[in-house]
Structure 1
Amino acid sequence: MSQGNRAPFVVAHRGASAALPEHTLAAYELALEEGADGVECDVRLTRDGHLVCVHDRTVDRTSSGTGLVSEMTLEELRALDFGGDGEPVPVLTLSELIELVLDWRSRPTKLFIETKHPVRYGGLVENKLLAELQRFGIATPASADHSRAVVMSFAALAVWRIRRAAPLLPTVLLGESSRYLGGGAATTVGATAVGPSVKTLRDHPDLVDKAAAAGRATYCWTVDDPADVALCSDLGVNWIATNHPGRTKAMLSS
């Protein structure tokens, strides 16, 4: 996940989600068109074992329906509208997003996948995710720098599962706690990067240097304010997640 001496890489948080409904194919297509270096998604398992890109435990906020993702089948989810305006927009599966990213030929783009915890299916989420990455041939990269996928979680155990099963896949241990970011849990589970929120980074700007000293990259979320973009750039953050990928890319290149 290293970047050398350059501005932070820009990750589209749930796609270009300030402009279009989050976790929709259109939001990710726009992010790629705007030049995002990476795209981020959250994944959950449906009742019949499919990985879908939904942040919340329920579909209430982001769709026309109600209920827990884990209690619904993929067919039931596909009957809902996740667009909220105009033509109905179906739920996005992880496989559909992977296909989009890998088929985007203008440049290689990384896919940052966050597994949600605690969840009904526990470690099955990571097992299904690894199987999906294997199916697309991106589960065993030649090196972390050249990996097309990065797996993230707030749960240290989830990161440990990935590191144990696929040691070459880069991982991010997300978290507000400075005890995670200062070494502790990140060292224990072997995370290749730490993921503070931008608020945590404002309060503890030394985290970037501490992570670098431990050989870890830094992924900061969710960076929308221009002052925060500048802060991340000044501190040497490697990857910043933003709802405004095009605008953020422009700010960093100006």
Structure 2
Amino acid sequence: MTPARQHRIQVVAHRGASEDAPEHTLAAYMKAIEDGADALECDVRLTADGHLVCVHDRRVNRTSNGRGAVSALELADLAALDFGNWKGREDATESPDWRDPSLTSVLTLERLLELVADSGRRIELAIETKHPTRWAGQVEQRLIELLERFGLASPERASESTVRIMSFSARSLHRVATAAPCIPTVYLMQFLSLRLRDGRLPAGARIAGPGIRLVRNHPGFVERLHQAGHRVHVWTVDEPEDVELCVRLGVEAIITNRPKQVLSQLGRA
């Protein structure tokens, strides 16, 4: 693969550099920044006491040494858990050393925003709201309030936005578009529905987010999305042949567990 490209594809670290460090931990995001990722992807859920935390699953069982639903636990409960113990520690051969417990405790979205702000370079954030949830509507409300605190939801800065909100839920994106129309929104898709086959997106969605399996099975869909005026951000792209496919199709962003390898394949390492 040659490094020359018609456009620069954004490389987005999925849950951080999650192949090298436990997903959604400070260690994973520090590694992604170190690797040179253009953007960081995270999932957010609301705790019982109203804090946004970066956790993918509804329950903490898979990615921590605890049990229970995130929405039923308070931040202090989550802070007592180790979110790195599940991943084979012999896998971590590169810095940062995620054996440090401070790097594998629960990560709040606020802390991640601080990390990005202190990075010293432009790093974008792709924040996914998870659904269904017992906190219908409150997740989006708290998220927008937090982004406003960091100056990331200002209409005056819309043209230089460094954050976007993603979801499989069209209702969630509609809430965001209504409350903060300056924030770009990404509609995530696992399957190609008949009503969206022509490239249209639900109301409130501005960017298409198809999964790599959908793109493999329906490569022409990317062209239809582009013809409809939409940018295309593909998840989760880890294999070299899938990276090459995304390049050929001219997608705007690749979301990957392996940001360092993808950057190298694109000639940017």
Q: 1:45, 1:69 within 8 Å by CA — same for their partners in 2?
A: yes
Could you tell me which residue of structure 2 aligns to residue 8 of structure 1? 9
Q: Which secondary structure does the structure 1 equivalent of 2:165 belong to?
A: strand
Please tell me whether residue 78 in structure 1 is matched to residue 79 in structure 2: yes
Please tell me whether residue 100 in structure 1 is matched to residue 101 in structure 2: no
Counterpart among 107, 110, 133 of residue 119 in structure 1: 133
| Residue identity in the other structure for 2:186 | V
**What is the CA distance between 1:177 and its match in structure 2?**
2.9
Give, in whole Å, the separation in 1 of the partners of 2:164 and 2:191. 21
Once the two structures are superposed, the pairs formed by residues 1-254 of structure 1 within 5 Å of their partners are 5-84=6-85, 86-88=99-101, 89-105=104-120, 107-142=121-156, 146-179=160-193, 181-182=196-197, 186=201, 188-253=202-267
Q: 1:192, 1:215 within 8 Å by CA — same for their partners in 2?
A: no
Distance 1:212 1:143, change over 3 A: farther
| Residue identity in the other structure for 1:109 | I
| Residue identity in the other structure for 1:250 | S
Give, in whole Å, the separation in 1 of the partners of 2:157 and 2:197. 24
| Residue identity in the other structure for 1:20 | A
**What is the CA distance between 1:190 and its match in structure 2?**
2.7
Q: 1:60, 1:67 within 8 Å by CA — same for their partners in 2?
A: yes
Q: 2:210, 2:234 within 8 Å by CA — same for their partners in 1?
A: yes
CA deviation profile, 1:153-176 (whole Å, cap 9, x unmatched) = 000000100111111111100012
| Residue identity in the other structure for 1:14 | R
Scaled by the length of structure 1, the TM-score of the pair is: 0.93
Q: 1:113, 1:150 within 8 Å by CA — same for their partners in 2?
A: yes
Q: Which secondary structure does the structure 2 equivalent of 1:169 belong to?
A: coil
Query: Which of structure 1's runs of 4+ aligned residues deviate more than 4 A?
Result: 141-145
**What is the CA distance between 1:183 and its match in structure 2?**
5.5
Distance 1:32 1:165, change over 3 A: same
Q: Which secondary structure does the structure 2 equivalent of 1:227 belong to?
A: helix
**What is the CA distance between 1:206 and its match in structure 2?**
1.4
Give, in whole Å, the separation in 2 of the partners of 1:87 and 1:8. 33
Give, in whole Å, the separation in 2 of the partners of 1:211 and 1:10. 20
Give, in whole Å, the separation in 2 of the partners of 1:21 and 1:104. 20
Give, in whole Å, the separation in 1 of the partners of 2:22 and 2:40. 14
Q: 2:44, 2:127 within 8 Å by CA — same for their partners in 1?
A: yes
| Residue identity in the other structure for 2:151 | G
Q: 1:181, 1:211 within 8 Å by CA — same for their partners in 2?
A: no
CA deviation profile, 1:29-82 (whole Å, cap 9, x unmatched) = 110111101000000000000000000001001111011100000000000011
Report how many aligned residue pairs link the two structures: 249
Q: Which secondary structure does the structure 2 equivalent of 1:173 belong to?
A: strand
Give, in whole Å, the separation in 2 of the partners of 1:39 and 1:87. 21
Give, in whole Å, the separation in 2 of the partners of 1:97 and 1:121. 22
Q: Which moved more, 1:18-27 or 1:78-87?
A: 78-87
| Residue identity in the other structure for 1:234 | R
Q: Which moved more, 1:88-97 or 1:135-144?
A: 135-144
Q: 2:170, 2:204 within 8 Å by CA — same for their partners in 1?
A: no
Distance 1:143 1:33, change over 3 A: same
**What is the CA distance between 1:207 and its match in structure 2?**
1.9
